[in-house]
């Protein structure tokens, strides 16, 4: 495509108005957004050819290439999150007995469906309170992981001399490095199990946990934290993590220290570099140019994967038959679907800020493409067109997850 007039007009409009050519640019394979956004369009794409192309060896060209890759990653993540969120909301609503008409009473978009389900959860809690049934919510947070190799690849593309000269080293703050260890695992080895566990059980420990159960205890818990979650021994079923003494079976991961050889996930120490390392916190960026750091941080939060924790509604005492049935249904629905929505909330926590930065930076990159040729200019227009809708999807997910988390905890102020 060599329509230089279209490129110039769109770039100038973006520069002057701060919004620009937000139409749909389709064609070919690419990164496709998910469902509709309230007030937004149907999304957009960035063609694979745009992210695969080389635009030159200058710092500006390398930064633009990294920006396109980060934009495509962000748009894909926004679409995945939107689809996962509306699917989880619909599933939760169905579990609570909502009809299709009730789910879509105010619209079929993600915000409308999820708001309807959140209102249903609040209504169920209101009924439980009116029946004078005492309940409390116990939960464990989701575990989020960022792939280190993807972050390093972004730095390599944007500022290759940093990687070439060995000025990037993997640092993980607010979490730990984990991965496959090809030598001695000097930390802990976590193996998927569905049976006995001689170490710490991460998942569901049935029977009893004589160590520390952190999360939900379906039974008697010896000690609780300030949020009401179990933080002591559990006589019953421990959902979350049991530090030691899981007398029944463990369904999840069994974590054992001091294993010289680990054919599963090694955590917290390997005598050589990890293979396919992940960071459960945030990767500390090396000293790189600002535009590179912002693009690669977007890749980091867009590629993050969050494994749901456990959310359980515990009934204190007994209830009448009708009330008990509604408590049971709400408890099972929240346990089955609510944790996935809360995990989405953890994933989008920083993604919204990254999206705002990408939209803001798109104007500068659009103007810079006049030096990089018509192909770069055309690809920049795809980013300019698609990023605002993707950012709107993420903002919806942030709003929905906050509202739902308040409702799922039984907060009286939820949704206000």
249 and 280: one domain? yes
167 and 269: one domain? yes
User: Is residue 155 situated within a structural domain?
Assistant: yes
User: Is residue 314 situated within a structural domain?
Assistant: no
127 and 155: one domain? no
Distance CA 220, CA 208 (A): 10
23 and 101: one domain? yes
Report pLDDT for 319.
Answer: 59
DSSP helix/strand/coil, 189: strand
Report pLDDT for 85.
Answer: 96
Instruction: Give CA 9 to chain center in angstroms.
Output: 37
* Residues 400 and 115: beta-carbon distance below 8 Å: yes
pLDDT tens readout for residues 217-264: 988 999 998 888 899 999 999 999 999 999 889 999 999 986 778 989
Long-range pairs, 323-328, Cβ under 8 A, ≥24: 323/127, 323/128, 323/131, 323/133, 326/124, 326/127, 326/128, 327/128, 327/133, 327/135
In our burial notation (b when 16+ CB lie closer than 10 A, e otherwise), range 365-380 reads: bbebbeebeeebbbbb
Please report how many Cα atoms fall inside a 13 Å half-sphere around the Cα of residue 372, on the Cβ side.
26
Query: Binning pLDDT at 50, 70 and 90, where does residue 391 land?
Result: very high
State pTM to two decimals.
Answer: 0.81
Distance CA 118, CA 93 (A): 9
Structure tokens at 362: 């798109």
Q: Which domain holds residue 219?
A: 143-302
347 and 225: one domain? no
153 and 137: one domain? no
User: Is residue 64 situated within a structural domain?
Assistant: yes
**Rounded percentage of the chain residues whose pLDDT exceeds 70:** 86
DSSP 234-291: EEEEEEEEE-S-B-S-EEEEEEEE--S--SSEEES-BSSPPEEEEESSEEPP-S--HH
39: left (phi over 0), alpha (psi -120 to 50) or beta: left
Pick the last residue of a domain from 302, 333, 348: 302
Residue 313: strand pairing partners? 137
DSSP helix/strand/coil, 166: coil
User: Is residue 104 situated within a structural domain?
Assistant: yes
- Label the pairing between strands 188-195 and 250-257: antiparallel
Angle between helices 59-95 and 148-158 (to 10 degrees): 150
User: Is residue 313 situated within a structural domain?
Assistant: no
| Residue 58 predicted with pLDDT over 50 | yes
Structure tokens at 99: 């009809």
58 and 164: one domain? no
User: Is residue 363 situated within a structural domain?
Assistant: yes
pLDDT tens readout for residues 269-316: 898 889 899 999 999 888 999 999 999 999 999 999 999 988 888 777
383 and 289: one domain? no
Any idea of the CA torsion for 50, 51, 56, 59, to the nearest 10 degrees? 130
**Other Cβ atoms closer than 10 A to 318:** 8
Query: Binning pLDDT at 50, 70 and 90, where does residue 132 land?
Result: confident
User: Is residue 35 situated within a structural domain?
Assistant: yes
172 and 24: one domain? no
338 and 291: one domain? no
Report pLDDT for 128.
Answer: 84
177 vs 131, residue with greater confidence: 177
249 and 361: one domain? no
404 and 340: one domain? yes
136: left (phi over 0), alpha (psi -120 to 50) or beta: beta
User: Is residue 246 situated within a structural domain?
Assistant: yes
Q: Give me the number of domains the chain comprises.
A: 2
Distance CA 360, CA 384 (A): 10
| Residue 326 predicted with pLDDT over 90 | no
Query: Binning pLDDT at 50, 70 and 90, where does residue 30 land?
Result: very low
What residues have CB less than 8 Å from 367, skipping those under 6 apart?
11, 14, 15
Closest CA relative to residue 267, chosen from 186, 202, 199, 182: 186
φ/ψ (deg, to 5) at 146:
-120, 130
Query: Binning pLDDT at 50, 70 and 90, where does residue 106 land?
Result: very high
């Amino acid at each position: 495509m060599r329509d230089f007039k279209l490129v110039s007009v769109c770039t100038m409009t973006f520069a002057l108005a701060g919004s620009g050519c937000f139409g749909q640019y389709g064609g070919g394979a690419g990164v496709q957004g998910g469902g509709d956004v309230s007030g937004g369009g149907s999304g957009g794409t960035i063609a694979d050819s745009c992210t695969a192309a080389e635009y030159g060896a200058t710092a500006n060209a390398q930064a633009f290439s990294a920006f396109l890759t980060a934009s495509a990653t962000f748009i894909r993540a926004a679409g995945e999150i939107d689809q996962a969120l509306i699917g989880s909301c619909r599933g939760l609503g169905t579990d609570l007995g909502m009809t299709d008409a009730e789910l879509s009473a105010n619209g079929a978009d993600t915000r409308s469906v999820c708001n309807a389900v959140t209102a249903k959860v609040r209504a169920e809690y209101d009924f439980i309170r009116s029946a004078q049934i005492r309940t409390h919510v116990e939960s464990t947070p989701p575990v989020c992981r960022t792939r280190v190799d993807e972050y390093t690849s972004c730095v390599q593309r944007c500022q290759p001399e940093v990687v070439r000269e060995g000025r990037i080293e993997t640092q993980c703050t607010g979490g730990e490095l984990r991965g496959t260890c090809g030598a001695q695992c000097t930390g802990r080895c976590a193996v998927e199990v569905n049976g006995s566990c001689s170490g710490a059980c991460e998942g569901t420990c049935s029977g009893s946990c004589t160590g520390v159960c952190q999360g939900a205890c379906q039974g008697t818990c010896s000690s609780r934290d300030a949020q009401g979650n179990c933080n002591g021994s559990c006589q019953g079923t421990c959902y979350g993590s049991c530090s030691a003494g899981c007398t029944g079976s463990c369904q999840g991961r069994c974590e054992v220290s001091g294993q010289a050889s680990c054919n599963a996930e090694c955590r917290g120490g390997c005598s050589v570099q990890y293979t396919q390392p992940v960071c459960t916190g945030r990767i500390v960026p090396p000293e790189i140019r600002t535009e590179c750091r912002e693009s690669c941080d977007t890749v980091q939060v867009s590629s993050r994967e969050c494994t749901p924790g456990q959310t359980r509604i515990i009934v204190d005492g007994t209830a009448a038959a009708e009330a008990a049935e509604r408590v049971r249904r709400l408890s099972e629905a929240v346990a089955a679907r609510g944790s996935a929505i809360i995990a989405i909330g953890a994933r989008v926590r920083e993604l919204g800020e990254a999206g705002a930065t990408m939209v803001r930076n798109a104007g500068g990159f659009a103007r810079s493409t006049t030096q990089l040729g018509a192909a770069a200019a055309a690809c920049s227009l795809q980013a300019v067109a698609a990023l605002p809708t993707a950012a709107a999807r993420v903002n919806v997910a942030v709003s929905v997850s906050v509202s739902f988390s308040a409702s799922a905890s039984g907060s009286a102020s939820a949704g206000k």
